[in-house]
Structure 1
Amino acid sequence: MHCHPVLFQMNKVNMKFVIKNIAKSSGRLGQLRIKEDVELSTPLLMQTTKGGSIPYLSAEVFEMLLKQQQQQQFLLQLTLCSMDQMAESLGQWSRSLCDYVGYPGQSTLLLLRDPCEATPTGGNDRDVVPMFTRRGKEALTAKRYMEMVAQFRPDVYQGMCDADTHPESTKKRVQKSVDRTEKFMEECYAEQAGKQESFSQCTMLAPLVGGYSTYARTQSIQHARKQPSESYGGYIFEGFHTNGLAATNLKSEQLLPIVEHCMQQLETDKPRFMPGAFTPPLTLELIRLGADVFDTSYAYLAAANYKALTFNYDKDAVPAVQAVFLDVTDDELKEQFTPLLSNCSCLACRQHTRAYLHHLYKTHELLGPILLMMHNLHHYLGFFEVIRTQLAQDELPQLLALLTSQGSYSIQPNTKVIAKAAMGKGFSSNAA
């Protein structure tokens, strides 16, 4: 089934979502306009940051990488837990948040938690959620959260929620996450409505929580949909995992029925955000169900754990089936003077070899993770470009079949021992 392009007004600050195509078996294509002159194609890959920066890469290197992909605009995913210490200075900053972090003209999304780092469980209270920063755990009220959002002034931000659930969470914990999220969101909506000038250029995403309970998820959706449609511009799914490597180990048979249940209850005119390091096959399944926006935390976690992404997403490539990862710690690489991936055009593959990357690992050089991150981002951006092409042709199932034939995409934590003298100079010893 194909549909004619339909334009939906998402909120009063001219954020718009255009559905270009809904395919019979392959999800949906769209255009997301967050700023008046910035249009982003969906399914969209947000650029995950740590402390406002693309991990391992300078702004200049990242922009060079984007030019290779013929992309100019992107969505920066920022996290409050890694940037909270900047709130006071941002409150006095007269320009935009994207200017502050060194990416002028781009769009920004502010999350509470870092999808790259495992979020500790516990520490929840009726009126606060824990925020884990470099200084330790801090208790965050909804009022304080909205004050910080007003200081950051992102283009998009998520509403505050209790997302401390995972596949093994008890029914009691799941219900508490929903009840507390509803309470937090009532305060967020009230703050947003009462201080319209502070939030005039910001669009809120309504968080959907409820763990792996269809009943709890429905309750969360119903609370969001009772609000005026202009009070939020889209949905963000939370509470499926505890971030970090946990997202790469989710079981599709557990997750997908819950997501499908939720998607059937959401209106089509608002985008659906899915933060976290979902594996490529699971990402395709989520897109098939109607998810629109993902992030690059999977590419980062692979690089931080010594892995180059080498899975094949080109159905015409020979061989069609190949290894999902290349682990640069493997000793057999020390005499392999070939690129990380033979058909890759990234700088790391054009100018360096597997043996050199292995040498950088052995000598704890910072250039090692830089080159791996360049390659992984290049590879993952190319993957999403192919996803959009396959969606247009209604051939997503064929791409999914190609990916699933190549093995496991779960990222296991690095357990290799690194001398303490080298810690912080290159590859990390624990990226879980």
Structure 2
Amino acid sequence: MSPLFNLLKTSEKSLRLGRLTLIKNQEQKVLDTPNLLAYTSRGCVPHLTPDNLSSIPLIGAINVTLEHFIDVQPPPSTQFPYGIHKFLNFEEYLVFIDVRDPGNLNLMSNNTDKHVSVYTAHGVRQVTSDSYIKYMNIYKPDIFVSLVDNITDEAPSLKRIKRSVDRTLRWLDDAIYHVKEGAQVFGVLTGHKNQEERIRSAQETAKRNVAGFVLNGKCLGSTSRECVDILKPSINHLPPNKPRLVYGLGTPEDILLGVSEGIDLFDTSYVLKMTNAGNAFVFSLDIKNDLDSFNRQQQIISLWDINYQNDARPLLAGCQCYSCKNHTRAYVHHLLNTHEMLATVLLMSHNLFHYTKFFKDIRESINQDMFSLKVEQFFRVYSDGEKEQKNLSSIILN
């Protein structure tokens, strides 16, 4: 299997419209970018069964986390002989594996030259480079991320930063050399907040035979703009013909910012966070009105709000997801108040469907050379005052 990433359209503002194609066992999987990787917990998209997930047609890729499987080592799942796709019933999707949970990267114990520490339901476990590659050769994912020595200290020494880059590159070399044919490796870019080390990490990783790149925006900067500015030295030294995945950018504003800086793939842990809080997405990039007639609108609504107890409207008018076509705000409000599991099933179904539609609209806006206008409309409608001006200047004018 050889991955192919085609850039279908680019612009001088770093916008990228691409297509990732993988052929495995004579089957082709295609993922248009910018796009999302569906977040999973313990091998399933939270709150959804495979049947629920199949009702969201725009989902093309799944992000699986080894951290959720290694309470016991070796993981019992490695005894299954037919690979991770069949084990998790994700055969129709592109399966992407990382060792850490992208929604939980702030938790970190000390790593060493021999292992990475991860958090499980039964405490901290250590994953060595040899064991990780062994598991990946058994699981046979489409893509996996090499081990990374992440730093969560606010002000690490230069020696610690350099050690992080060196360890990560060494583990990447191990993964590329020992992985069996059939799985592709994404390299991770490190360097914390040091520009020279971020450039070195990007340049050295780009020299390797990697299928793409991962940037972790967690613990970098107090705002999304600061985070992206720290990542830019890495992004600026990457080849254009390979996809870039970023962790830590989840809100609609974050996604638009990342896309404007040339990011291709995003995780969806933010969708789970909003679902668990009882919120439904109601924002849209596809705004038809004239700019001068816009009124401020909400991005999300909380179905805990008592105002929805008699609201017979769907979560979002015009939405084609299962929840909106079959149920009302009042019903979801009732389910939340009675602590019924169906509440989060319906909310997750809607929110994930809605987020895939958001990315589809982003791709269409880039293709039609309408991205800047759509972003300006978005912030005019959904942001307020100082925040609006800050984001507009950050995303459109810079």
Alignment TM class, shorter chain as reference: 0.7 to 0.9
Separation (CA, whole Å) in 2 of partners of 1:285 and 1:128? 34
Is residue 391 of structure 1 aligned with residue 366 of structure 2? yes
* Distance change (3 Å), C-alpha of 1:315 and 1:86: farther
Separation (CA, whole Å) in 1 of partners of 2:105 and 2:302? 22
Q: Is contact 2:202–2:237 with CA below 8 Å preserved after alignment?
A: yes
SS in 1 for 2:362: helix
SS in 1 for 2:136: helix
The counterpart of 2:64, out of the listed 78, 92, 117, is 78
Q: Is contact 1:341–1:349 with CA below 8 Å preserved after alignment?
A: yes
- Identity across matched positions, percent: 24
SS in 1 for 2:101: coil
CA RMSD between the two structures: 2.4
Separation (CA, whole Å) in 2 of partners of 1:152 and 1:82? 14
Separation (CA, whole Å) in 1 of partners of 2:134 and 2:168? 14
* Cross-structure match for 1:415: none
| Structure 2 counterpart of 1:80, one-letter code | L
Residue 188 of structure 1, CA deviation: 4.0
* Cross-structure match for 1:182: 166
* Cross-structure match for 1:42: 33
Residue 308 of structure 1, CA deviation: 0.7
Is residue 127 of structure 1 aligned with residue 111 of structure 2? no
| Structure 2 counterpart of 1:14, one-letter code | S
| Structure 2 counterpart of 1:355, one-letter code | A
Q: Is contact 1:209–1:220 with CA below 8 Å preserved after alignment?
A: yes
Separation (CA, whole Å) in 1 of partners of 2:237 and 2:175? 27
Residue 284 of structure 1, CA deviation: 1.3
Residue 34 of structure 1, CA deviation: 2.3
Is residue 376 of structure 1 aligned with residue 351 of structure 2? yes
Aligned length: 376
Q: Is contact 2:5–2:21 with CA below 8 Å preserved after alignment?
A: yes
* Cross-structure match for 2:184: 203
Misfit runs of 4+, over 6 Å:
none
Q: Is contact 1:87–1:151 with CA below 8 Å preserved after alignment?
A: no
Separation (CA, whole Å) in 2 of partners of 1:74 and 1:343? 23
SS in 1 for 2:312: coil
Separation (CA, whole Å) in 1 of partners of 2:258 and 2:249? 12
1:19-418 alignment runs, 5 A limit = 19-25=7-13, 27-36=15-24, 37-66=28-57, 71=58, 74-84=60-70, 85=72, 88-117=75-104, 119-165=106-152, 169-172=154-157, 176-190=160-174, 192-193=176-177, 195=178, 198-227=179-208, 231-238=209-216, 240-241=217-218, 251-316=223-288, 321-405=296-380, 406-407=382-383
Q: Is contact 2:69–2:77 with CA below 8 Å preserved after alignment?
A: no
Separation (CA, whole Å) in 2 of partners of 1:212 and 1:404? 29
Q: Deviations over 1:226-279 (max 9, x none)?
A: 43xxx31111002x215xxxx9x9513312322332222111111111134521
Separation (CA, whole Å) in 2 of partners of 1:191 and 1:355? 51
Residue 358 of structure 1, CA deviation: 1.2
Please say which of residues 305-314 and 112-121 is displaced more in the overlay.
Answer: 112-121
Residue 140 of structure 1, CA deviation: 2.2
* Cross-structure match for 1:16: 4
Please say which of residues 84-93 and 281-290 is displaced more in the overlay.
Answer: 84-93
Q: Deviations over 1:168-191 (max 9, x none)?
A: 71042x752552342243144235
SS in 1 for 2:55: helix
| Structure 2 counterpart of 1:156, one-letter code | I
Q: Is contact 2:279–2:300 with CA below 8 Å preserved after alignment?
A: yes
* Distance change (3 Å), C-alpha of 1:263 and 1:136: same
Q: Is contact 1:207–1:237 with CA below 8 Å preserved after alignment?
A: yes
* Distance change (3 Å), C-alpha of 1:175 and 1:234: farther
SS in 1 for 2:118: strand
- Unpaired runs of at least 5, structure 2: 385-398
TM-score, normalised to structure 1's length?
0.81
Separation (CA, whole Å) in 2 of partners of 1:103 and 1:150? 17
- Unpaired runs of at least 5, structure 1: 1-12, 409-432
Separation (CA, whole Å) in 2 of partners of 1:210 and 1:225? 15
| Structure 2 counterpart of 1:170, one-letter code | A
SS in 1 for 2:186: strand
SS in 1 for 2:191: coil
* Distance change (3 Å), C-alpha of 1:363 and 1:263: same
Q: Deviations over 1:9-62 (max 9, x none)?
A: xxxx32111111112436111110123511111112111111111110010111
Q: Is contact 1:212–1:254 with CA below 8 Å preserved after alignment?
A: no
| Structure 1 counterpart of 2:35, one-letter code | L
SS in 1 for 2:318: coil
